[in-house]
Amino acid sequence: MSTFERATERRRDTSSHVRRPGSDGEHLVQRRLGTEGRADRFYADQVLDRLNPRMREFLSRQEMFFLATADRHGECDNTFRAGPPGFLHVLDESTLAYPEYRGNGVHASLGNIEENPHVGILAVDFLRDRIGLHVNGRARIVDDPEMRRARPELATDPVPGRRALVWVRITVEEAYIHCAKHIPHLQKAPRHGSGRSWGTDDFRRKGGDFFGAAAEAPRRGTFRPPPRADATAWRAEAEKLLARAERSEAEAGAEAGAGTGAGADTNTDGGTVEEPRVFSGWFSRGAPVG
């Protein structure tokens, strides 16, 4: 029995039945590199499906985080979000929300969330604790009036550039530590000038052409006008992909249960145990195991 399985066995009286966290590819690489034991210890001791009090306190004082999203094809984007301490609002142990401020108008992250709700947040404290926290979950875009009707306690930021265009509300599915050993310990530099230019359209104050991309852009050729977004078409495509995945899961479950004809395995006492549910995330909530 693995470390993760032993830890799960110890917690059977208080926890819902869970399967071993991680993706198939993750498990394959662990076997290839001989790290399954270390991974099991991490899964058993560090991965939660909610934010505990210390995680909530940590997030409530951060001024920045990194955000990972992907579109419906799996094409990834990683970006950075910043604001005053507490701009990443901890609504409860299972819910986060942050405001989207005025940016360059591209809306890459919001566009990905429209197609694919899975998001990953990495908050790193470089200044005090030198530790990080991963939060993975499902996001949806919420208009500011709707958000304030649901959460009237949210204050309106007095800085024009920090007023929410929309909100991103995240249902937490996984939360776990990012260890300190490779995180540099930084210090805040003295403030120069007027500080950050929230919401500005001033080319220079936004960074100008820092990487010299404008001189090389003509080599790329001109962009073709994008096709008009057809939400109905891509949603239909997403539904086809989902249906195909569900069929594959059902077939896999049928194959797993073929030995008994009833989708169950025989235990050492001659009885049967329920076949674990098809993987649907790191945590599969169901009836408590007693």
Q: For residue 192, what pLDDT is reported?
A: 72
**8 Å CB contact between 182 and 155:** no
**8 Å CB contact between 170 and 96:** yes
Q: For residue 100, what pLDDT is reported?
A: 95
Q: For residue 284, what pLDDT is reported?
A: 39
* Residue ranges for the chain with pLDDT beneath 70: 1-18, 193-194, 203, 225-230, 256-290
Give the pTM: 0.69
Q: For residue 235, what pLDDT is reported?
A: 76
The span from the CA of 8 to the CA of 62, in Å, is 32
Query: Taking the alpha carbons of 262, 264, 265, 269 in that order, is the dihedral positive or negative?
Result: negative
Helix (H, G, I), strand (E, B) or coil at 109: helix
Q: For residue 287, what pLDDT is reported?
A: 37
Q: For residue 62, what pLDDT is reported?
A: 95
The span from the CA of 250 to the CA of 125, in Å, is 43
